[in-house]
Amino acid sequence: MTAAAIDAPFSPGLAGVVAAETAISLVDGANGVLLYRGYPIVEVVRTGTYGAVLDLLLTGEWHAHATLEPAPVPADVLTALRLLPPGTHPMDALRTAVSAWGAMHRIAWPPTAEQARELIAFAPSALAAFARLRQGLEPVSPQPGLDLASAFLQQLHDAAPDPATARALEAYLMACAEHGLNASTFAARVIVATRSDLASTIVGAIGALKGPLHGGAPAEVLGQLDEIGSVDRAEAWARDRLGRRELIMGFGHRVYRAYDPRAAALRVVAEHLPQRPPWLDLAIGAEEVILRVFAEVKPNRVIKTNVEFYAAAVLQGVGLTPDLFPAVFGIARMAGWSAHAIEQAAVDKIIRPEARYVGPAARHLPGA
């Protein structure tokens, strides 16, 4: 096919282009609705477990009290993590762990729910192990009987967390497990559509999520709250930021034109943390002020709170350092990535869009 024969309209970033049909989730941005296999996200977070969400996304079946038993880090994966410099970004460490796991297992295509469960069971342990290794501490094995969120915090801090703190992290994992055809999920579907294996698919998705336009916003929210300092300074800060045409992270979304339902679910969780950090009151007060300023300064745009704003509150509230936020987001999203990989593999058709050539016309090399 020649360039002149490609008459399809060009959509930068594929905006508005339907590239897949899915039964996994519905993201209704206009009405602020997110459904996992038909179930509202607020109900899922309030009543379920991450294990239940994983089963739901992978198989379509809902078992409210399902758990996923955490697995220790395989020896070969731990060896790879020990070789990383202490300054390695946690996202790179997570990507390395999954890649090493895939090389060790040599898993076959097509991806399966069993492969996904095995991968997701060890991934939090690998991240916790790296977080300890970079501090000069030895990794800790998961305690029997803990769920995935509890075991991650236990391995990170070498102490079992209180149930409310673990539940807050589990709520975050559930709320961020799946969100339609976002950049990393699309990357996952492109990779698995070539009949590549699940480990390669997840590695590619992690790479996409590492970009600050996709997975880095919660950590930036904390920096903003530090700059604001107190609720009475929030209005001046927001007006100055908007006056300089700078982004305010945690507000606005590519899809949502209403309040992000994941943010609503996480705000409830954050408000009930057993050791509510002092800046959570700042976050709640600043949110109300910033939304009012947006409404005054940008009256023609609907800008509401998105999930990153309260994700920051929850993740810091359970004792994570900001540089771990994107990697924990990646662990949460592995459920959705895996479900999409299985769904795309069933289609078994390579994803191969066209590109419109805009370079020079045909010409000859000098002297040819």
Active-site annotation holds for 340: no
Identify the band that residue 276 occupies on the pLDDT scale cut at 50, 70 and 90. low
User: What type of residue sits at position 336?
Assistant: G
pLDDT for 5: 53
- Rounded to two decimals, the pTM is 0.88
Q: Is the dihedral of CA 99, 207, 157, 263 positive or negative?
A: negative
For the cut 80, the answer to whether the pLDDT of residue 14 exceeds it is: no
Average pLDDT, integer, range 343-347: 96
Backbone angles phi, psi at 235, to 5 degrees: -65, -45
- pLDDT tens digits for range 111-122: 999 999 999 999
26 forms beta bridges with 35
Round the average pLDDT of the chain to a whole number and report it: 89
Per-residue pLDDT reduced to its tens digit, 326-336: 999 999 999 99
pLDDT band at 24 (very low <50, low <70, confident <90, very high): very high
The count of residues in the chain is 368
> Tens of pLDDT along 35-92?
999 999 989 998 899 999 999 999 999 998 898 999 999 999 999 999 999 899 999 9
Q: Reply yes or no on whether 308 is catalytic.
A: yes
pLDDT for position 22: 94
Question: Tens digits of per-residue pLDDT, 199-214?
Answer: 999 999 999 999 877 7
- Terminal-to-terminal C-alpha distance of the chain: 26
Q: What is the mean pLDDT of residues 89-107?
A: 95
Q: Can you tell me the distance from the alpha carbon of 173 to that of 188, in angstroms, rounded to the nearest whole number?
A: 19
User: What was the pLDDT predicted at 2?
Assistant: 45
pLDDT in tens, 106-159: 889 999 999 999 999 999 999 999 999 999 999 999 999 999 999 999 999 999
pLDDT digits (tens, 9 = 90+) for 298-313: 888 878 888 788 888 7
Q: Which of 170, 179, 220, 253 is catalytic?
A: 253
Q: Say whether pLDDT at 6 is over 70.
A: no
From 170, 220, 287, 308, active-site residue = 308
- In terms of Cα–Cα distance, which of 268, 272, 262, 69 is closest to 162? 272
pLDDT of residue 78: 97
Interval 151-199: pLDDT, tens: 999 999 999 998 888 998 999 999 999 999 989 999 999 999 999 999 9
How large is the average pLDDT for residues 340-348?
97
Half-sphere exposure of 165 (CA within 13 A, CB side): 20
Helical spans, DSSP H, in the chain: 41-47, 50-59, 75-82, 90-105, 113-133, 148-157, 163-175, 183-192, 198-210, 212-215, 217-228, 234-243, 261-271, 278-297, 307-317, 325-347
Q: Which domains does the chain have, with CATH numbers?
A: 36-214+331-347 (1.10.580.10), 217-317 (1.10.230.10)
CA–CA separation, 68 and 165 (whole Å): 18
